[in-house]
Amino acid sequence: MGFFSRLKKAWQSPDEVARQAVEEYRREQGLQEAEQPAAEPEAEAPAAPPRPAAEPAPQAAEAVAPPVSDAAPTATEDWQADLTLALRQAEPRLSQWLNTIVEGVEEKGQGLWDRLAFLFKALGAPENEAKKFIADFAAWLDEMGYQAVPEFKSELQYRLALALELEDEEDERDRLFLKLSEGISKTREQITKRIDGLLSAHSSLNDEFWEEFEEILIMADVGMEAATQLMENLKARARKAGTDNPDDFKDLLRDELEDIFKVPPRIKAVNPPEVLMMVGVNGVGKTTTIAKLAYRARLQGRKVLIAAGDTFRAAAIEQLEVWANRVGAGFYAKAEGSDPAAVAFEAMDKAVSEGYDLLLLDTAGRLHTKINLMEELKKIERVVGKKHEGAPHRCVLVIDATTGQNALSQAKLFNEAVGVDEIILTKLDGTAKGGVVVAVTLQNKLPITFVGLGEKMEDLRPFNGKDFAKALLT
């Protein structure tokens, strides 16, 4: 049972069962035994939940009572009492609770901040953290020029999920799965519709079937080599399972895709600050992806520095500075045309001396000078490594999924030159040829860590092969 479900139990029925549910959760999370029941029978209020793992919260078991008095309720008490009741009746899901919180609220402002503060209080979050969350969010809305709730609700849920460590909760997973499904809908249309047609036209997995399947793979940009390998693996799988029934085909394919994507991440020991260098040809989405990663890291409470290693255009430096300000990250740049390695070196210095947790290095997809881009990137690697042991810890190649088979040669080129640790595949939302993700993984045996599903901050999603396979074939 997830955090919210347990919380809900305690919230809804402040009795022995609820108390036990909370205790059970606390034990599992390694938290101290509560000193008093999580919810007192007479308390009409929501019981404060245990905090998510890793945050011992001695106050967790205190009941958080909205002000209830014998006197006639004031307007303030009215909304708090109404909200408590509505939250009790809502499903134990972050999305439902957020709906309840924003119900009747049309735009940002004190009314919304009060309601959010109330939710945090009920969740047992420390007051200073709650205040900071709200202040950061309000500042971000100002920066973005958002006013009306529908403009920022999804963003708010994303922030809440990260701040409360609920990203793995069933509810968040469902929502993100939906986003992934929507994001790859064009590819799914292309692949799944055709596979369905193929399956209904054949009564066994015969040669003709495989030939037509290969065509589908090529159309979806899986590529010749990867398609051949995929088919061989699938045939072996079918043999092993003793089936040539088309009804079993999708399960075989799903399992095979899951296996393909099971590339272990490259874990390197990291001595802070962690340094991530972003590489890729121009226009693939390096700069926006840096902003998105910085945003995630900020929401996770990390201190982030962004360095403008792309000195090719003044506009690129400005673009990055705007992003850094928006997401609340530090920023380091030099003038247009400066030596990118010098920018990286000085930013590294700043990151170490000012105690940053994460340094994100943007790089150019092309250069002013005749110097080879790969040589320039190697130089950046060398200088940051000299300044800070083990840096860059992650060399991330950004690939634009809409570029199709070109992606393969880019991956090969960059990997040979600078040693890529992971791949981020952007713009999956804009292509019917997302099959390239299979080819890239098969060819390079590199993990895909994130995929870009749109231009908004929350559209950068951690890549999960299992979910991807499921979203593709459902």
Ligand X SMILES: Nc1nc2c(ncn2[C@@H]2O[C@H](COP(=O)(O)OP(=O)(O)OP(=O)(O)O)[C@@H](O)[C@H]2O)c(=O)[nH]1
Applying CB under 6 A, which residues contact ligand X?
Answer: 280, 282-288, 310, 316, 365, 426-427, 429-430, 452-455, 459
CA distance 235 to 205: 9
Part in contact with Mg ion (CB under 5 A); list of ranges 86-94, 100-108, 224-232, 278-286: 278-286
Q: Three-state SS for 155?
A: helix
Task: Count residues binding Mg ion (CB under 5 A).
Answer: 2
The four Cα atoms 123, 128, 131, 137 give a dihedral, to 10 degrees, of: -90
What Cα–Cα distance (Å) separates residue 349 from each residue in 313, 360, 386?
24, 13, 11
Q: Kindly state the smallest distance separating residue 430's Cβ from ligand X, in Å.
A: 5
The one of ligand X, Mg ion, none whose footprint includes residue 455, by CB under 5 to 8 A per kind, is ligand X
The one of ligand X, Mg ion, none whose footprint includes residue 441, by CB under 5 to 8 A per kind, is none
| Closest residue to ligand X, based on beta-carbon distance | 452
Q: Kindly state the smallest distance separating residue 195's Cβ from ligand X, in Å.
A: 25
The one of ligand X, Mg ion, none whose footprint includes residue 282, by CB under 5 to 8 A per kind, is ligand X
CA distance 442 to 204: 27
Is residue 21 a contact partner of residue 9, using CB atoms and an 8 Å limit? yes
| Closest residue to Mg ion, based on beta-carbon distance | 287
Nearest to 263 by CA among 449, 112, 43: 449
Q: Which is nearer to ligand X, 272 or 404 (CB)?
A: 404
CA distance 175 to 407: 29
Residues in the chain: 474
Q: Kindly state the smallest distance separating residue 361's Cβ from ligand X, in Å.
A: 12
For residue 458, give the DSSP letter.
G
Q: Kindly state the smallest distance separating residue 280's Cβ from ligand X, in Å.
A: 6
Peptide bond into 49 cis (omega under 30): no
The one of Mg ion, ligand X, none whose footprint includes residue 176, by CB under 5 to 8 A per kind, is none
Q: Which residues contact 166 (CB under 8 A, 6 or more apart)?
A: 3, 4, 52, 94, 160, 172
Please select the residue that binds Mg ion; options are 80, 84, 95, 287, rule is CB under 5 A: 287
Q: Which is nearer to ligand X, 385 or 454 (CB)?
A: 454
For residue 307, give the DSSP letter.
E
Part in contact with Mg ion (CB under 5 A); list of ranges 62-70, 78-86, 122-130, 279-287: 279-287
The one of ligand X, Mg ion, none whose footprint includes residue 283, by CB under 5 to 8 A per kind, is ligand X
Which residues are near Mg ion by CB under 5 A? 286-287
